[in-house]
Chain A
Amino acid sequence: MQVTVNGKTLDLDVEPDMPLLWALRDVAGIRGPKFGCGIGACGACTVILDGAPVRSCSISVGDVAGEVTTIEGVASDGGLHPVQQAWLDEQVAQCGYCQAGQIMSAIALLNDIPDPSDEDIDNAMSGNLCRCGTYPRIRAAIHRAARMQAGA
């Protein structure tokens, strides 16, 4: 199977019905997307597929036609994406397990709506569960990232 991840075309020795999540994690060694539920209910495995946030546990690798971006591919030159920087500035993460998925959803939101309202954030982020309860700082970080990107 061929799949393009973070700008590179990977040739993966997998069956087409393997979920993208497991092809990334266990075959390609790309472990930013996390396994949380396997049914698309928690968002820990979120990647961006052609600009849209997608739960990689719930799409077969054979159905992926387009460019996949994972947390590993959002920044260049070892730097941080503005959303990652905002996360750092707001000291968002606690256990950190859901955060890659949260950040991918936030990046997709900001690409869509550069200056989201609280309601926009609620709508875009409701599929991403966090058991540590980092939501107040996620909200603050998304607003901060919006300001950073507007100023840039």
Chain B
Amino acid sequence: MTDTCDVLIVGVGGQGVILASNVLGEACLAQGRPVKAAETHGMAQRGGSVECHVRIGGTLGPLIPPGGAGVILAFDLLEALRYRHYLAPKGRMVVNRQMVVPTSAFMQGLAVPTVEEALGKLQDLDLCPLDADALALEAGSPLTQNIVMVGAASPHIPLSAEALKAAVKRSVPPKTIEMNLKAFQLGRDAAASCR
């Protein structure tokens, strides 16, 4: 684990990708670490593909080069396929084992890979698949799946669990703090069985 780490978070608008990246950014601040991040705006309500770049320890530009991400958090399998070329040779991908089929694919009858096919196209990577939706429900709300994902990636991110949890508290609505801390822990525990 190096001191600097480029983390790419991808998903579908509305899944809380930007909030997940804010947790990493706030944790950097708490640990006195420089950070740069870039995000896609305006997709939250419109279901588009969303990518957030977070460069822990970054002092220059906010964008991660393809092949440079130490960790990818993919909230959706189709987005995992779309962005897998960003992963560094020794990087790890944490992926939610589910797929939102794009509406345009239904409308135009485009071929969409199944969950199993998609996982198959990721098998050559250091992959940690988990059912973030189910864990989020267990934590108390499907909306916490973004924090489940952050928890699952946390062992591979050079930030302390304490700093990340404090950042979760700062970043989520006050009423949902307990639920989100539980989601973080459930994700972290689930990822422990990955290896």
Are chains A and B native binding partners rather than an unrelated pairing?
Answer: no
